[in-house]
Amino acid sequence: MDENLMKKYIPMTETTYYTLLAVTDKRHGYAIMQFVSDLTKGRIQLGTGTLYTMVGRLTTDGIIEITSSEDGKKTYLITETGMQLLKMETERLEKQIEDGHEVIKVERKE
């Protein structure tokens, strides 16, 4: 894994994290926005400007790739590098949550 990519993407922004989750299957822009909204129960609403700026950066960095669907729309899919980063970030977040639960439990006992 490229050290520069790790520094750039870990920790990951919430919108980048959810976008990468969305492109674990091929999806076009609107489908990415819908997936993220559905997964977060409307908590995160990606705007088109935010999404396409981010998709451009992720594509340039080799985190996702552009593919084409049957109807000719651009679709996006996570690369192996992107999947490695997504897994690393998920593990980082899990540890962060575990630490939070540990501290909260200790404080409740006192």
- β-strand partners of 68: 74
CATH of the structural domain 3-109, one choice from 3.10.129.10, 1.10.10.10, 1.20.1560.10, 1.10.760.10: 1.10.10.10
**Tens-digit pLDDT profile for residues 12-71:** 999 999 999 999 999 999 999 999 999 999 999 999 999 999 999 999 999 999 998 677
Nearest to 82 by CA among 102, 98, 65, 104: 65
pTM of the predicted model, to two decimals? Answer: 0.90
Query: 50 is written with which tokens?
Result: 């935010």
76 close to 30: Cβ distance less than 8 angstroms: no
